[in-house]
Amino acid sequence: MATRDKIEQLSASTSDAAGQRLTSNQGLPILDDQNSLKAGERGPTLLEDFILREKITHFDHERIPERVVHARGVAAHGVFKVYASQAAVTRAAFLQDPEVETPVFVRFSTVAGSRGSSDLARDVRGFAVKFYTTEGNYDLVGNNMPVFFIQDAIKFPDLIHAVKPEPHNEIPQAASAHDTFWDFVSLTPETLHMIMWVMSDRAIPRSLRMMEGFGVHSFRFVTADGRASFVKFHWKPLLGVHSVIWPEALQISGQDPDFHRRDLWNAINDGDFPEWELGVQIVAEEDEHRFPFDLLDATKLIPEEMVPVQRIGKMTLNRNVDNYFAETEQVAFHAGHVVPGIDFSNDPLLAGRLFSYTDTQLTRLGGPNFHEIPINRPLSPLHNNQRDGMHRQTIDRGRVAYGPNTLGGGCPMQVGSRDGGFATYRESVSGPKVRQRGDKFFDHFSQAVMFFNSLADWEQEHLVKALQFELGKVESAAIVERMLGLLHHIHIPLACRVADGLGVAVPVGIERPLNRSVPADGDATKFESQAIDDSLPPSPALSMANRPSHGIRTRRIAILAANGVDSAAVHVLQDALLAAGAQSRIVAPHGGRLRCADGSEMRIDHSLLTTSSVMFDALFVPGGADSVATLLGKSGAVHFVHEAYWHFKTIGAFREGCGLTQAAGVHSHYGDGDGDEIDSGVVAWREGELTELVDDFIDAVAQHRHWRREMKALARS
C-alpha cells in the first residue's frame, strides 16, 4: 500500500468511533486511563506510570507556536477547473485541461491579531490557495488587497513589530490604532498606497466569501518553449465584493468574534459553496517598462483599465475541514512552492518571502519534514535523497541516499525540462552589488491618489472616518502631524477632513519625501522633494460601488415577529427568499415558538436577547396587529430596526408592520401600493399584495447597502 494511502487510512480510522478500543500511542490496549498508578489508594503517584506520562506529555505539547502573522485563520477544501487551455502563456499542467479538477485547500486569515482575536478587526485578510496538482503542490499565497505596505522584505520585521501590540504592555491586540504603527508609517512613505486600502472598507469584509484575493507580486508565466510573460493573479468572488461598516464591525466583534469563520463553515455545510474565478493580468516581457510604475514594486498595482483581468478558471470550496488543528493549523504555505510554467520575478519583497516561509515552518512544525503532514503532502509521488529529520514519516528502503549513484540504479533521476522538469526562466542579469531600488520605486503617492480618487463618496467618507479613528488613538502629536502632512500630499480635502475630526491643523510647507527616514530631530520639513506624476486617472474597478449586483444568494434576512403574527405573510416571504437563495430567520422577543394569528405555530430562530441587527443583511416586519403591538412595547425591537436603518440596510414592512418601522424613525412616507420612493432601501406598504412587495424587497436587498441614505444624513448635518 502506498505511503499516502497508509496515512489516509490511519487518519480515517480515527473518525469512526464504532467498536474502537482505547490504546496508547503505541497501540497498547489500556485497561484504565481514569486513575493514575499510585502506591496505595491514597499514596504517591508512581513515576513508572507511562500511561499517565504519555497522556500528560501529549497534552503539554498540543499547542504549536502560532504563526507570527496570519495566526487567526479558517480553511476549507475545494476544487479548481480551468475554462480553457492556457498553453499560449504557460505550460502549468493544471491550467490546460478544462475536464480536470484540481483539488485545493484555501486558508483565509487576519494578519496582525493572535489566534484568539476577532474576525472583524480592521486588517488585511490572507487568501492562500494550495493546488494539489499532478506536478506537485502550487501555493498562491496572497491577500485580499492587491498591494502591500513595503517594497523590500528587509523591512518586513519592522512593519510587523510596529503593528503588533506594543512590547512594553502587549496592547492593543489585533489593531493598528496605536503610536508604533503610525510612527513607522509616517516615516515610511512607501506604505501610503496600502494605508489607503487598509483604511477603506476593504479591511472589514462582510464575508470571506465576498472579498477579492490577489497574488500581490508580479510572477512569470512560462510556456513549453521557454517564452515568458509577467502575470498578476486575481480571485474574483461570484457573490460580489461587500463589506460591513466600522460600527457594525465593533458590535459583531463583541457579539460573535467568530463571525467570518462561522459564516464560511455554515455556507459550506448548507451547500452554498463559495466560488471565485481566477483572473490574470498578462504583461509581455517587452512591455515591462512601459508603465509609469515598476512591475517589481509590491506597493503598486496594474489598473484593470490598463491591463484587463482575464478570467481563466473557477474555484469552488465544497468541504469543511475534519479537524481544525490537523488541517487549518498545520497547513504550510510557501510562495516558493511553484510548478513548471510558473516562476518568479525580481520583486525584492517576494525574494524575502521565498526564504522566510520555509524558515518559519521549521519552527512551527518541528523540523524539515512538515511536507509529510497529510494536509501538506502532494498528491504526486515524492522521490528524493532527503532522509531523517524530526517527525520523519516515510520509511525509505535501500542503501542509497545520494546522487549520482550506481548502487540504486541512478535513481531518483533528474527530469529534463522537456519531460516536465522545472527549469528556471533564463533571465539575463547584470549589474553591481548595491543596496538600492529602481527609480520608479520612489513614487509613493501616485497610486495612493488614484485609489482615493477612484472611490465613491461614501467610500471616501468611511476612509476619512477610519483615519480619524486610528490617528485619534495616537498619543504623539508629532506622529499625527507627520501623517497629516503625508495625507496633504495625497489629497488636500482628505487631510483637512481628517484634521477636522482630530481638532488639529494641517501642517503646511512639508515637501514630498523620498523613501528614507525622517531626520533624527523628527523635522518632517527636511524631507527631500521630488517631482511626482499624479496624472494616473481614477480606476473605476477599484471602487466597490461599481460592482454589479449579484442577487441575494446566502444573504441573511431577519423577520421580526411576536405572538399574533400574520403567518401567511411570513410564509410568502420565506418562500420567496428561499427561491432567491437567501436565508430567513424568525427573531422574536423570546425563544421557543410563536402563536400566529390563525392559531398555527412557528419555530423561533433567535430571541432579541441572543442576536442583533448586525448579524443580518436586511430585516422585514410582517403584519399582525397583536404581533406589532408586542414589538412596539419592546425597546429591543425598536432598536433592532433603528440600528439596521442607520447601518444602511434594506428595511421591509407590511401593513401593521409599518407601525414598528415608523416608531423606529425609519421613514415618514408609506406607499399605497406603488412602493416607497422617499427613502432608499425602505420597502413598506400599508396596503396591497405582499407578493408584489416581496419583489421590491428582494431587489433592494441585492444592492447590499443604501449609501445614499448615509450621504443624505451627512448633507443634513
User: Looking at the predicted structure, is the pLDDT value of residue 525 above 70?
Assistant: no
User: Looking at the predicted structure, is the pLDDT value of residue 690 above 90?
Assistant: no
- Burial of 58 from C-beta contacts in 10 A (0-12 / 13-18 / 19+): exposed
DSSP class per residue in 42-71: TSPBPTT-HHHHHHHHHHHTSPPPPPSSS-
Amino acid at 102: T
Q: Which of 137, 143, 453, 563 is catalytic?
A: 143
pLDDT for residue 436: 87
User: Looking at the predicted structure, is the pLDDT value of residue 440 above 90?
Assistant: yes
pLDDT for residue 418: 82
Q: Cell 498591494 appears where?
A: 147
Backbone φ/ψ region at 27: left (φ over 0), alpha (ψ -120 to 50), beta: left
DSSP H/E element including 140: strand 136-143
Candidates 583, 550, 561, 544; CA nearest to 263 is 583
Contacts within 8 Å (CB) and 24+ apart, 408-416 = 411/383, 412/383, 412/384, 412/385
Amino acid at 704: H
Amino acid at 662: Q
What's the pLDDT band for 260 if we cut at 50, 70, 90? very high
User: Looking at the predicted structure, is the pLDDT value of residue 703 above 90?
Assistant: yes
What's the pLDDT band for 528 if we cut at 50, 70, 90? very low
Q: Give 266's contacts (C-beta < 8 A, 6+ positions apart).
A: none
Task: Note the pLDDT tens digit of each residue in 401-433.
Answer: 888 889 989 888 888 878 888 888 988 888 888
What's the pLDDT band for 4 if we cut at 50, 70, 90? very low
* Mean pLDDT value of segment 612-624: 97
Backbone φ/ψ region at 659: left (φ over 0), alpha (ψ -120 to 50), beta: alpha
Nearest-angstrom CA–CA distance, 447 and 536: 7
Cis peptide before 303 (omega within 30 of 0): no
- Burial of 530 from C-beta contacts in 10 A (0-12 / 13-18 / 19+): middle
Judged by average pLDDT, the poorest of 286-290, 354-358, 514-518, 643-647 is 514-518
Supply 164's cell numbers. Answer: 503588533
pLDDT for residue 516: 46
Strands (E), 157-284: 213-214, 219-222, 228-237, 275-284
Q: Which of 25, 58, 61, 70 is catalytic?
A: 70
* Mean pLDDT value of segment 294-306: 97
Classify strands 219-222 and 275-284 as parallel, antiparallel or unpaired: unpaired
Nearest-angstrom CA–CA distance, 92 and 327: 26
What's the pLDDT band for 207 if we cut at 50, 70, 90? very high
User: Looking at the predicted structure, is the pLDDT value of residue 540 above 50?
Assistant: yes
Angle of the 707-716 helix axis to the 457-472 helix axis, nearest 10: 70
pLDDT for residue 5: 52
- Burial of 270 from C-beta contacts in 10 A (0-12 / 13-18 / 19+): exposed
Task: Note the pLDDT tens digit of each residue in 93-126.
Answer: 999 999 999 999 999 999 999 999 999 999 999 9
Comparing 702 with 515, the larger pLDDT belongs to 702
User: Looking at the predicted structure, is the pLDDT value of residue 533 above 60?
Assistant: no
Q: Cell 517587452 appears where?
A: 286
70 is known as an active-site residue:
yes
Task: Note the pLDDT tens digit of each residue in 12-54.
Answer: 444 455 678 888 888 888 888 888 888 988 888 888 988 888 8
Supply 394's cell numbers. Answer: 516515510
Comparing 60 with 153, the larger pLDDT belongs to 153
Task: Note the pLDDT tens digit of each residue in 185-194.
Answer: 999 999 999 9
Q: What does the chain come to in residues?
A: 717
Supply 175's cell numbers. Answer: 489593531
242 is known as an active-site residue:
no
Task: Note the pLDDT tens digit of each residue in 368-391.
Answer: 899 999 999 999 888 888 888 888
Task: Note the pLDDT tens digit of each residue in 582-612.
Answer: 999 999 999 999 999 999 999 999 999 999 9
